[in-house]
Amino acid sequence: MTKLLKLLIFVNILIFSSILLNGNAKALSYDLKMEFEVNLMENNSAGVTQKVVLRNNSADFLSTSMSLDFPFAQVDSLKVVSEGTPLPATIENARLWIEFEDQALEFGETKQIDISYQVVNFVNVYGDIRGISWPKFNVEEEEIKYPLKIVYPVSWDDVYYSSEGVDMNVVFDTKRAIAFTDVTKPVGVYFGNFTLKQFNIQLDKTRLLEGETSLRLPLNNDFYISGVNESTNINRAEEVSTATIDVEKYILENPLGIISTQERKFDENISLSPYSRGIEKIDGIESNDPTKLYKVLLAKLRPQTEITQWSRKSISEILEQDKHSDIDYATVYSEVLKSKKIPTRILYGIVLFPDGNYHWHFWLTYLDKTEEESQWKQIDPFMEAVTGYEGYSNVTPVRIIWGQLNDSSDLSDINLDLFTITPEKFQLRNFTNPSAQSGYITSQLNDKPLTGEVSVLGASTNNLKVSNSLQYSILYIMAGTGLLIISAIIYKREFHFNLNRKSRN
């Protein structure tokens, strides 16, 4: 009995101690406000100024130090200053630790701390487009709102895409500045403009099935193809083109090069597919406004972040799932928009995600008729659900439309061998002069001597073809010009000869 009593007393002491410790932890709480100014530089580094205003809410303790979530593993030129006095600071375990030393913060006292540092290679360059991904900052694992100002060289052009609404956009001298008022999550921004996309594709041997000797790769008809070797056979067709690749002959050191101007329109299809079954189970989609429908559907679906094999399901099957893939999102949005007589197409291709990796991905395009001139607009609800990046007003530019999915497709027609291809050296280039762009495309395709015709895909490339008849025509013109010159010389000599004969007579 005595042993049991001692055990109960010991347990009570532990519980009482934990209560005291929790009370002290709460007493050590403080209020904190932050703001950031990020200066992007031509060398693609970022100079960051972080202002922190701290107020001690502890009535029983002095604040002699603090720590902040710090998402940068390594920075240069770290400086921490308060009221002109440098403070010791270190980065450890994704946190910034700051010691106040003899500047301990008393109850109710406020202190401003200025933190500055540089992040090397912060800006990613994709040809004429530059992109940044500003990370999320938390305070003691709690979400905090803060203003963010980004300054960058005016030569980078205006903002092409922003994952958050820009609250300020001004130009002064050689700099341009944009600002966001209440930031709570990662921010992605792309600067610049582009008229064509260029990248390489290369086989990933590790993902080939055992004994697989050839791959049949569907290609967008708008693609210009370069670097075609003996192992690859390009088959052109009016609607769908393909490349058949002999795996044994394929030379890994020579990837296929692809250029796309993405100047295409889509069929105005509003017919519901077999996958629309169960659409009547979706509540709140009475509106015909694409903006409202986008928000309603976004709230009804939950993104699946694990990479699994794609499969097409009906809306009824999709709604029964707890989580949904990108093709699930695309199916639901496509069928709902088409039910409102809004032409919609499901797209698939390669997309750069905020994790820095390229992924094969499904998203949508619909015909926006709200403006004076109707235009096809791309939307990516799955991307917004996963990353928080805006997916309606615009989509991230580092992506390529590989093709459009047939409404009744079960994915077998696009051949999943497609997904053994990984992209490299994605470039977006801007040409304001169409002739300059055509010349650039031709130069990229001329990686070996022309044999009479440029090897490209698509009817839009007819103006780039150099036919043998044209070469012979040039030779005929040159030969004809030469004969005219010779005839003129002969005529002149005969004229002088006859003139001399007359004078002698």
Inter-CA distances, 132 with 49, 95, 160, 361, 398, Å: 17, 22, 12, 21, 12
pLDDT tens-digit readout, 300-315: 999 998 777 789 999 9
Give the residue from 126, 158, 192 where a domain finishes: 192
Residue 380 phi/psi, 5-degree rounding, is -140, 75
Tokens matching residue 229? 């070797």
Mean pLDDT of 397-402: 92
What is the DSSP code string of 22-71? HHHHHHT-EEEEEEEEEEE-TTS-EEEEEEEEEEE--SS--B-EEEEE--
- Quick check: 52 and 98 in contact, CB under 8 A? no
Residue 488's contacts (CB-CB under 8 Å, 6 or more residues apart) are none
- Average pLDDT of the residues of the chain: 81
Quote the domain boundaries for residue 129.
Answer: 27-192
Evaluate if residue 154 carries a pLDDT over 70: yes
**69 and 171 belong to one structural domain:** yes
Give the residue from 406, 428, 447 where a domain finishes: 406
**312 and 184 belong to one structural domain:** no
- Provide the pLDDT for residue 231: 81
Evaluate if residue 482 carries a pLDDT over 50: yes
209 or 274, higher pLDDT: 274
Among the residue ranges 189-193, 311-315, 476-480, the one predicted with the least confidence is 476-480
Evaluate if residue 326 carries a pLDDT over 70: yes
Output the CA torsion sign for 125, 356, 33, 63: negative
Separation between Cα atoms, residue 379 and residue 463, nearest integer Å = 32
- Provide the pLDDT for residue 104: 75
**187 and 322 belong to one structural domain:** no
Residue 360's contacts (CB-CB under 8 Å, 6 or more residues apart) are 348, 349, 350, 351, 418, 419
- Quick check: 352 and 367 in contact, CB under 8 A? no
pLDDT tens-digit readout, 219-242: 888 888 887 777 888 887 776 778
- Provide the pLDDT for residue 61: 64
Separation between Cα atoms, residue 421 and residue 122, nearest integer Å = 27
pLDDT tens-digit readout, 230-279: 788 888 777 677 888 888 777 666 778 899 987 677 888 899 999 999 99
The answer to whether residue 93 is domain-embedded is yes
- Provide the pLDDT for residue 417: 72
Tokens matching residue 424? 């490299």
3-state secondary structure of 16: helix
Evaluate if residue 317 carries a pLDDT over 90: yes
- Provide the pLDDT for residue 466: 32
Mean pLDDT of 403-407: 89
Mean pLDDT of 405-415: 85
- Provide the pLDDT for residue 87: 92
- Provide the pLDDT for residue 420: 76
**69 and 175 belong to one structural domain:** yes
Separation between Cα atoms, residue 255 and residue 424, nearest integer Å = 9
Separation between Cα atoms, residue 235 and residue 241, nearest integer Å = 6
The answer to whether residue 363 is domain-embedded is yes
Evaluate if residue 137 carries a pLDDT over 80: yes
Evaluate if residue 490 carries a pLDDT over 60: no
Instruction: Report the candidate in 460, 421, 468, 465 with the shortest Cα–Cα distance to residue 232.
Output: 421
Evaluate if residue 26 carries a pLDDT over 70: no
* CATH number, residue 305: 3.10.620
484 band by pLDDT with thresholds 50, 70 and 90 = low
Inter-CA distances, 314 with 40, 199, 297, 322, Å: 46, 35, 15, 15
The answer to whether residue 376 is domain-embedded is yes
Evaluate if residue 487 carries a pLDDT over 60: no
Question: How many domains does the structure of the chain reveal?
Answer: 2
**178 and 33 belong to one structural domain:** yes
437 band by pLDDT with thresholds 50, 70 and 90 = very high
64 or 324, higher pLDDT: 324
Q: Name the β-bridge partners of 139.
A: 142
**34 and 147 belong to one structural domain:** yes
Q: Name the β-bridge partners of 54.
A: 32, 111
Among the residue ranges 352-356, 385-389, 396-400, 453-457, the one predicted with the least confidence is 453-457
- Provide the pLDDT for residue 188: 95
Residue 439 phi/psi, 5-degree rounding, is -65, -40
Inter-CA distances, 175 with 42, 43, 170, 406, Å: 11, 15, 9, 46
**184 and 35 belong to one structural domain:** yes
The answer to whether residue 12 is domain-embedded is no
pLDDT tens-digit readout, 327-369: 999 999 999 999 999 999 999 999 988 778 888 899 999 999 8
| Maximum average pLDDT range among 64-78, 109-123, 194-208 | 109-123
DSSP assigned state of 106: P
489 band by pLDDT with thresholds 50, 70 and 90 = low
Give the residue from 145, 165, 192 where a domain finishes: 192
18 or 196, higher pLDDT: 196
**292 and 169 belong to one structural domain:** no
**176 and 48 belong to one structural domain:** yes
**188 and 292 belong to one structural domain:** no
**54 and 185 belong to one structural domain:** yes
* CATH number, residue 48: 2.60.40.1730
Inter-CA distances, 22 with 13, 16, 65, 433, Å: 14, 10, 19, 67
**187 and 278 belong to one structural domain:** no
- Provide the pLDDT for residue 163: 93
